[in-house]
A and B are shown apart, each in its own frame.
Chain A
Amino acid sequence: MSDWTRVEHFLHTDPADVGCDEAMAVLEVYAELTHSDPQAARVRFPGVAVHLSQCGPCAEDLAGLLRALVADEADEN
């Protein structure tokens, strides 16, 4: 990554980003979709996908939720 790309990355914003509130409102639906088919989640919720790629705390919540789903699946099997 060049220095200019890093500056672009540092200041990057995407108008499609829905923000934390909207992402948090559907996080459980997004997590279940991602768990079974990540591409389907991105297609159904493109603005949420953009947000989760930009927002560390919301991405962290998604990671935790996905881990809980994996653990549930392991418990069921």
Chain B
Amino acid sequence: MPSAGVDPATLDPASAGWLGCLDDAAADREPCLARLHELLTRVARREIGRRAHQIAVSGPELDDLAVQSAGDAMLAVLAKLDQFRGESRFTTWAYKFVMFEVSAKVGRHQWQHLPPARADVDWEVLPDRMGLGPEDHAVQSDLVREISRAVEADLTDYQRRVFVSVLLEGVPLEAVAVGLGVSRNTVYKALFDARRKVRAALVAHGQLAEPAGRTA
């Protein structure tokens, strides 16, 4: 197990205490591990409870997700102990892994419970997804036509898949990442590039203004 990568003398007393008792050679390592696990489980239960509405799960199944998240966060903390730089309290750093694990569990649950995907793309939902009002149908039709053209012609297959899933079908980004077997960052980057390309196409066709301070 990696040792902490920071000098305990530079840390706040509580963080130094955690690093001391998590050391492989510490006499009180076992109770320390139990205390950390208890702490992470408490945080995971609160966090899963906060996000329960995102997955429509309750009772023992919800608690199972919390316990799994805490266990996986515990493993991550212990495996990455040498990466703790002491820029925050140790517990805040450890809680971060709880958040990541809860996000991953929620995303996996959402992905597993998605309705079957449509074979075609339903562009009719686009005005609603963009939050447009019903006022100007002609302008909206032009806009939908131009965005769909840009998505089909200017995006890579991967960018198109992410754009349609997240922005048209409303699939949570984390669930898309689970479904594609990639990281959140990979999906976010694809979505970022897709948005940029579609916007550029609208600018090129005179439907949006060039962003201020930028030139073509």
- Do A10 and B185 touch across chains, with their CB atoms under 8 A apart? no
- Do A10 and B129 touch across chains, with their CB atoms under 8 A apart? yes
The reply on B88 being an interface residue by CB < 8 A is yes
Nearest residue (CB) in A for B188 is A20
Within 8 A of A (CB), among B121-141: 129-133, 135-136, 139-140
Within 8 A of B (CB), among A40-77: 55-58, 60-61, 63-65, 67-69, 71-72
On chain A, the number of residues with a Cβ less than 8 Å from chain B's Cβ atoms is 36
Nearest residue (CB) in A for B174 is A57
Complex interface: chain A residues within 8 A of B98 (CB): 64, 68
CB distance from B29 to the nearest CB of A (A): 23
Compute how far the CA of A20 lies from the CA of B202 in the bound complex, rounded to whole angstroms. 27
Within 8 A of A (CB), among B12-55: 43, 46-47, 50-51
DSSP class of B's interface residues: helix, strand, loop or mixed?
A: helix
Compute how far the CA of A27 lies from the CA of B95 in the bound complex, rounded to whole angstroms. 10
Known: A7-B208, A21-B183. A61 touches B103 (CB 8 A): yes
- Do B88 and A31 touch across chains, with their CB atoms under 8 A apart? yes
- Do A60 and B188 touch across chains, with their CB atoms under 8 A apart? no
Within 8 A of A (CB), among B40-95: 43, 46-47, 50-51, 87-89, 91-93, 95
On chain B, the number of residues with a Cβ less than 8 Å from chain A's Cβ atoms is 45
- Do B46 and A68 touch across chains, with their CB atoms under 8 A apart? yes
Complex interface: chain B residues within 8 A of A60 (CB): 51, 99, 103
Interface residues of B (CB under 8 A from A): 43, 46-47, 50-51, 87-89, 91-93, 95-96, 98-100, 102-103, 107, 129-133, 135-136, 139-140, 143, 167, 172-174, 183-185, 188-189, 192, 195-196, 198-199, 202, 208
Task: Jot down 19 A-B pairs with beta carbons below 8 A, ordered by A.
Answer: A3-B133, A7-B132, A10-B129, A11-B198, A12-B199, A19-B192, A20-B183, A24-B96, A24-B100, A28-B92, A28-B93, A28-B96, A31-B96, A32-B88, A57-B103, A57-B174, A60-B99, A64-B50, A65-B95
Interface residues of A (CB under 8 A from B): 1, 3-4, 6-13, 17, 19-21, 24, 26-29, 31-32, 55-58, 60-61, 63-65, 67-69, 71-72
